Amino acid sequence: MSPRQIDPRIRPALIEIGARLLADEGPEALSTRRLAAEAGTSTMAVYTYFGGMSGLVREMVHEGFARLHQHLAQVAETDDPVADMALLGRAYRQNALANPHLYAAMFGGSSLAGFELTEEDRQHGRYNLSGVVDCARRCIEAGRFRPSDELLVAHQMWITVHGLVDLELGSYLIDPCDGDTCLEAQLVGLMIGAGDEPGSAVRSVELSARRFDEEIRETSTEARNGKAHAT
């Protein structure tokens, strides 16, 4: 394919379509013919842009974590580190709800169409934890969390919110315990469990809810395209 024929819209489209097919239908749905048909391009596009199917799958994972980073990076550092931590949890969930197909690919491991993630690939996920570690350190230094290893605290936050998101995306939550209800209770419980006083934890989590609409913006491809078309 000559440089003149390269369409900048095809590469992100293939990533989105590939992630959706993988999440909805499994690895057997990933074929160059199926991808090309849905993207309105030729089968060679997978090789042109990604070097083959394994390259496409790797880019699904990288793109998923890049969008997670975009969400987490929107959380401003304030003088209430516990509210910041709660908002990081909200941002994590928002990214998953906005990009469910990519979210599924991010943690798919060896089930990704026969493609096994490397240590380098996993680093695309781990670097997202650095902001959570910094926030945990600030919570400890402020005396809101008990003295602890900030890396361990960050892992506990990630593990717990990740578990909720997995259940929510899989439609396993039982009414009336929907995702919103569970998240609010979970965030308060996490902060108290880390050592915060119950009253302070409730106030900080409520503050994070008020900040959510102001600080956390949609970053999915569909949302960006929709906003562009609307302007």
pTM equals 0.86
Annotated domain spans of the chain: 60-216
Residue 158's closest CA among 91, 221, 230, 62?
A: 91
Tokens read off for 94? 């928002």
Provide the phi-psi class of 117: left if phi over 0, else alpha when psi is between -120 and 50, else beta. Answer: beta
pLDDT tens sequence for the chain (231 residues): 344 456 778 999 999 999 999 888 888 888 899 999 999 999 999 999 999 888 898 899 999 999 999 999 999 999 999 999 999 999 999 999 999 999 988 886 545 656 777 788 788 788 889 999 999 999 999 999 999 999 999 999 999 999 999 999 999 999 999 999 999 999 999 999 999 999 999 999 999 999 999 999 766 444 444 333 333
Q: What pLDDT sits at residue 5? A: 58
State how far the Cα of 105 lies from the Cα of 109, in Å rounded to an integer: 8
Provide CB contacts within 8 A for 1, sequence distance 6+.
44, 45, 48
Q: Is residue 189 exposed (0-12), middle (13-18) or buried (19+ Cβ within 10 Å)? A: middle
User: What radius of gyration, in Å, describes the C-alpha atoms of the chain?
Assistant: 20
* CATH number listed for the domain at residues 60-216: 1.10.357.10
Decide if 97 contacts 136 (C-beta within 8 A). no
Nearest to 187 by CA among 99, 83, 95, 103: 83
Question: What are 86's two structure tokens?
Answer: 């709660």
